[in-house]
Amino acid sequence: MALVNGGELVVRTLLEAGVGHVYLLYGGHLQPICEGIRRHGIPYVDMRNELTAGYAAQGYARATGTFGVALVSAAPGFTNVITSITNAFIDRTPVVYISASAAMADAETNNFMSGLDPVTMVRSVTKWAHCVTRTNDIPRLLAHAIRVATTAPTGPVLLDLPWDVVFGTVEEGQVRIPQTIRPDGDLLPRAEAVERALGLLASAQRPAILVGEGATRRELAKELRTFVEATGVPVFSCYEGYGLLPTRHPLYAGGLMKLADFREPSRAPDVVLALGVRFGFMTVGTDGLVPANARLIHVDVDPREIGRTRDVAVAMPAGAREALEALNAGSRSHAWPDWSAWHDVLRSARVARAEGLAQEAAGRTSPIPPYHAAKAIAASLDDDTCVVVDGADAHMWIAETVERGEPGRFFSHASFFGCLGYGLGFSMGVQNAHPDQRVVCVTGDGALGFTLAEFHTMARHDLPIVVVVMNNRAWGATSHFQDTTAFGADKRYFAVDLSGAAYHDVAAAFGCHSALVKKLEELAPAMRAAFASGKPACINVEIAVEDVAPDHRAMVFLRS
pLDDT digits (tens, 9 = 90+) for 532-558: 999 999 999 999 998 888 888 777 655
Cβ pair 119, 179 in contact under 8 A: no
pLDDT score at 183: 76
Residue spans of beta strands (DSSP E) within 220-374? 235-237, 252-255, 271-275, 295-300, 314-317
Which class does domain 363-559 fall in? alpha beta
Q: What pLDDT does residue 495 have?
A: 87
Q: Is the pLDDT of residue 48 over 50?
A: yes
Q: Which amino acid is at 366?
A: S
pLDDT for position 560: 47
* Calpha distance 14→139 (Å, rounded): 9
For residues 383 and 403, what is the distance between their CA atoms, to the nearest angstrom?
8
CB 529: neighbour CB atoms within 10 A? 14
Please state, rounded to an integer, the average pLDDT across all residues of the chain: 93
Secondary structure (3-state) at 397: helix
- Residue 390 reports pLDDT greater than 70: yes
Considering only CA atoms, which of 558, 560, 5, 485 is closest in space to residue 261?
Answer: 558
pLDDT tens digit sequence for 291-335: 888 999 999 999 999 999 889 999 999 999 999 999 999 999 999
Burial of 173 (0-12, 13-18, 19+ CB in 10 A): exposed
For 448, residues 6+ apart whose C-beta sits below 8 A from its C-beta are 390, 391, 421, 423, 424, 467, 469, 503
Residues spanned by CATH 3.40.50.970 within the chain? 3-174, 363-559
Q: Report how far residue 392's alpha carbon sits from residue 444's, in angstroms, rounded to the nearest whole number.
A: 7
Closest CA to 398 of 420, 383, 381: 381
Name residue 237's beta-bridge partners: 211, 255
| Phi, psi torsion values for 358, nearest 5 degrees | -65, -40
Model confidence pTM above 0.85:
yes
pLDDT per residue as tens digits for the range 151-164: 999 999 999 999 99
Say which CATH superfamily domain 191-344 falls into: TPP-binding domain (3.40.50.1220)
Could you tell me the maximum CA-CA distance found in the chain, to the nearest angstrom?
79
Q: Where in the chain is the domain with CATH 3.40.50.1220?
A: 191-344
Tell me: pLDDT of 466 over 70. Answer: yes
> What's the rounded Cα separation, in Å, for the pair 43 and 14?
12
- For residue range 475-524, list pLDDT tens digits in order: 887 787 777 654 545 667 788 889 879 999 999 999 999 999 999 999 99
pLDDT, residue 261, reads 86
Name the 3-class secondary structure at 253. Answer: strand
Confidence of residue 43 (pLDDT cuts 50, 70, 90): very high
Q: Which CATH architecture has domain 3-174?
A: 3-Layer(aba) Sandwich (3.40)
